[in-house]
Amino acid sequence: MTKRFVLIDRDGTINVEKHYLSDPDQLELYPGVAAAIRRLNQMDLGVVVVTNQSGIARGYFDLARLDEIHTRLFTMLEAEGAAIDGLYICPHGPDEDCTCRKPLPGMVDQAVADHHFDPRRAFMIGDKEVDVELGHGVGAVSFLVRTGHGPQFVESTKADYVVDDLPAAVNVIEGLLK
Protein backbone atom coordinates (compact mmCIF):
# COMPACT_ATOMS: atom_id res chain seq x y z
CA MET A 1 0.00 0.00 0.00
CA THR A 2 1.35 3.41 -0.94
CA LYS A 3 1.70 6.34 1.40
CA ARG A 4 -1.37 8.58 1.65
CA PHE A 5 -1.07 12.25 0.78
CA VAL A 6 -2.68 15.51 1.78
CA LEU A 7 -3.02 18.09 -0.98
CA ILE A 8 -3.17 21.64 0.36
CA ASP A 9 -3.97 24.94 -1.32
CA ARG A 10 -1.54 27.74 -0.46
CA ASP A 11 -3.13 31.21 -0.37
CA GLY A 12 -6.00 31.45 2.11
CA THR A 13 -5.30 27.98 3.51
CA ILE A 14 -1.64 27.88 4.58
CA ASN A 15 -0.91 31.59 4.46
CA VAL A 16 -3.04 34.67 4.91
CA GLU A 17 -4.69 35.74 1.65
CA LYS A 18 -2.87 38.86 0.35
CA HIS A 19 -4.44 39.25 -3.13
CA TYR A 20 -1.63 38.12 -5.44
CA LEU A 21 1.06 37.76 -2.81
CA SER A 22 4.21 39.01 -4.53
CA ASP A 23 6.57 39.87 -1.68
CA PRO A 24 8.20 37.15 0.44
CA ASP A 25 8.23 39.53 3.41
CA GLN A 26 4.41 39.66 3.31
CA LEU A 27 4.07 35.89 3.66
CA GLU A 28 2.19 35.24 6.90
CA LEU A 29 1.20 31.75 8.02
CA TYR A 30 -2.16 31.26 9.69
CA PRO A 31 -1.85 30.35 13.38
CA GLY A 32 -1.22 26.65 13.94
CA VAL A 33 -0.48 25.83 10.28
CA ALA A 34 3.13 24.76 10.79
CA ALA A 35 2.16 22.58 13.75
CA ALA A 36 -0.67 21.06 11.71
CA ILE A 37 1.67 20.20 8.83
CA ARG A 38 4.16 18.77 11.35
CA ARG A 39 1.34 16.55 12.67
CA LEU A 40 0.66 15.32 9.13
CA ASN A 41 4.38 14.52 8.83
CA GLN A 42 4.23 12.64 12.14
CA MET A 43 1.22 10.65 10.88
CA ASP A 44 3.45 9.58 7.95
CA LEU A 45 1.26 11.38 5.43
CA GLY A 46 2.79 13.03 2.41
CA VAL A 47 2.12 16.76 2.09
CA VAL A 48 1.87 18.50 -1.26
CA VAL A 49 0.91 22.09 -1.98
CA VAL A 50 -1.10 22.78 -5.16
CA THR A 51 -1.56 26.45 -5.99
CA ASN A 52 -2.95 28.51 -8.85
CA GLN A 53 -0.61 31.45 -9.38
CA SER A 54 -2.20 33.49 -12.16
CA GLY A 55 -0.30 36.54 -10.89
CA ILE A 56 2.53 35.28 -13.11
CA ALA A 57 0.35 35.31 -16.24
CA ARG A 58 -1.03 38.70 -15.22
CA GLY A 59 2.50 40.13 -14.91
CA TYR A 60 2.27 40.91 -11.18
CA PHE A 61 5.41 38.88 -10.43
CA ASP A 62 7.68 36.36 -12.16
CA LEU A 63 8.77 32.80 -11.43
CA ALA A 64 11.95 34.00 -9.71
CA ARG A 65 9.89 36.06 -7.26
CA LEU A 66 7.54 33.12 -6.70
CA ASP A 67 10.57 30.96 -5.92
CA GLU A 68 11.63 33.52 -3.28
CA ILE A 69 8.16 33.33 -1.72
CA HIS A 70 8.29 29.54 -1.67
CA THR A 71 11.81 29.49 -0.24
CA ARG A 72 10.54 31.65 2.61
CA LEU A 73 7.51 29.34 3.04
CA PHE A 74 9.76 26.28 3.32
CA THR A 75 12.06 28.12 5.75
CA MET A 76 9.15 29.20 7.96
CA LEU A 77 7.75 25.66 8.07
CA GLU A 78 11.14 24.03 8.63
CA ALA A 79 11.79 26.38 11.56
CA GLU A 80 8.80 24.74 13.26
CA GLY A 81 9.70 21.18 12.29
CA ALA A 82 7.22 20.91 9.40
CA ALA A 83 8.01 19.68 5.88
CA ILE A 84 6.31 19.73 2.51
CA ASP A 85 7.10 16.93 0.06
CA GLY A 86 6.29 18.92 -3.05
CA LEU A 87 4.89 22.20 -4.30
CA TYR A 88 3.12 22.49 -7.64
CA ILE A 89 2.00 25.66 -9.34
CA CYS A 90 -0.20 26.65 -12.22
CA PRO A 91 1.24 29.90 -13.62
CA HIS A 92 -1.54 30.32 -16.18
CA GLY A 93 -4.40 32.78 -16.28
CA PRO A 94 -8.02 31.68 -16.09
CA ASP A 95 -8.52 32.10 -19.85
CA GLU A 96 -5.47 30.09 -20.88
CA ASP A 97 -5.95 26.57 -22.15
CA CYS A 98 -3.99 24.51 -19.64
CA THR A 99 -4.59 21.28 -17.78
CA CYS A 100 -3.09 22.41 -14.49
CA ARG A 101 -5.34 25.25 -13.32
CA LYS A 102 -7.59 24.11 -10.50
CA PRO A 103 -10.07 22.49 -10.65
CA LEU A 104 -8.32 20.60 -13.48
CA PRO A 105 -6.07 17.78 -12.25
CA GLY A 106 -2.72 18.67 -13.85
CA MET A 107 -0.91 19.58 -10.63
CA VAL A 108 -2.20 16.47 -8.86
CA ASP A 109 -1.23 14.33 -11.86
CA GLN A 110 2.32 15.71 -11.59
CA ALA A 111 2.41 15.09 -7.84
CA VAL A 112 1.22 11.52 -8.39
CA ALA A 113 3.92 10.98 -11.03
CA ASP A 114 6.58 12.35 -8.66
CA HIS A 115 5.44 10.70 -5.42
CA HIS A 116 3.57 7.57 -6.58
CA PHE A 117 0.39 7.83 -4.51
CA ASP A 118 -3.25 7.07 -5.20
CA PRO A 119 -5.19 10.37 -5.31
CA ARG A 120 -8.37 8.45 -4.44
CA ARG A 121 -6.83 7.87 -1.01
CA ALA A 122 -5.76 11.50 -0.60
CA PHE A 123 -7.27 14.49 1.17
CA MET A 124 -7.65 17.93 -0.47
CA ILE A 125 -7.80 21.06 1.72
CA GLY A 126 -8.53 24.53 0.39
CA ASP A 127 -10.46 27.76 0.78
CA LYS A 128 -12.24 27.85 -2.59
CA GLU A 129 -14.74 25.68 -4.37
CA VAL A 130 -12.14 24.98 -7.11
CA ASP A 131 -10.13 23.18 -4.41
CA VAL A 132 -13.17 21.10 -3.48
CA GLU A 133 -13.85 20.37 -7.16
CA LEU A 134 -10.22 19.34 -7.69
CA GLY A 135 -10.47 16.98 -4.73
CA HIS A 136 -13.66 15.41 -6.01
CA GLY A 137 -12.27 15.25 -9.55
CA VAL A 138 -9.34 13.09 -8.45
CA GLY A 139 -11.39 11.07 -5.97
CA ALA A 140 -9.95 12.66 -2.81
CA VAL A 141 -11.81 13.56 0.38
CA SER A 142 -12.32 17.32 0.25
CA PHE A 143 -12.19 19.99 2.95
CA LEU A 144 -13.24 23.62 2.73
CA VAL A 145 -11.62 25.86 5.33
CA ARG A 146 -13.27 29.02 6.62
CA THR A 147 -10.03 31.00 6.24
CA GLY A 148 -9.18 33.04 3.15
CA HIS A 149 -12.07 32.99 0.69
CA GLY A 150 -13.72 30.04 2.46
CA PRO A 151 -16.59 31.94 4.13
CA GLN A 152 -18.11 32.89 0.77
CA PHE A 153 -18.37 29.22 -0.27
CA VAL A 154 -19.63 27.64 2.97
CA GLU A 155 -23.35 27.79 2.11
CA SER A 156 -23.02 26.26 -1.35
CA THR A 157 -19.98 23.99 -1.04
CA LYS A 158 -19.95 20.37 -2.04
CA ALA A 159 -17.01 19.71 0.30
CA ASP A 160 -17.04 16.52 2.32
CA TYR A 161 -16.06 18.57 5.38
CA VAL A 162 -16.24 22.26 6.26
CA VAL A 163 -13.79 23.22 9.00
CA ASP A 164 -12.50 26.40 10.59
CA ASP A 165 -8.89 26.11 9.37
CA LEU A 166 -6.06 23.78 8.38
CA PRO A 167 -5.44 22.56 11.96
CA ALA A 168 -9.13 21.61 12.22
CA ALA A 169 -8.88 19.69 8.94
CA VAL A 170 -5.88 17.79 10.32
CA ASN A 171 -7.93 16.89 13.39
CA VAL A 172 -10.63 15.40 11.17
CA ILE A 173 -8.05 13.54 9.03
CA GLU A 174 -6.48 12.09 12.16
CA GLY A 175 -9.90 10.83 13.26
CA LEU A 176 -10.62 9.33 9.83
CA LEU A 177 -7.36 7.40 9.88
CA LYS A 178 -8.05 5.72 13.23
What is residue 54's predicted lDDT score, i.e. its pLDDT? 96
Q: Would you say the C-alpha torsion 15, 149, 43, 103 has a positive or negative sign?
A: negative
What is residue 34's predicted lDDT score, i.e. its pLDDT? 98
Residue 11 annotated to the active site = yes
pLDDT interval class at 150 (50, 70, 90):
very high
Sketch the domain layout of the chain as residue ranges. Answer: 5-176
What distance in Å separates the CA atoms of residue 17 and residue 14, rounded to the nearest whole number? 9
Residues 99-113 have a mean pLDDT of 98
What distance in Å separates the CA atoms of residue 121 and residue 131, rounded to the nearest whole number? 16
Measuring CA to CA, which residue among 18, 106, 7, 20 is closest to residue 57?
20
The active-site residue out of 9, 127, 131, 165 is 9
For the cut 90, the answer to whether the pLDDT of residue 63 exceeds it is: yes
What is residue 2's predicted lDDT score, i.e. its pLDDT? 82
Residues 160-175 have a mean pLDDT of 98
Residue 109 annotated to the active site = no
In the chain, what percentage of residues exceed pLDDT 90?
98
Measure CA of the first residue to CA of the last residue in the chain; give whole Å.
17
Q: Which CATH number fits domain 5-176: 3.30.870.10, 3.40.50.1000, 3.50.50.60, 3.30.200.20?
A: 3.40.50.1000
pLDDT tens digits, residue range 111-135?
Answer: 999 999 999 999 999 999 999 999 9
What is residue 1's predicted lDDT score, i.e. its pLDDT? 59
The active-site residue out of 11, 85, 127, 165 is 11
pTM of the full structure: 0.97
Backbone angles phi, psi at 8, to 5 degrees: -125, 130
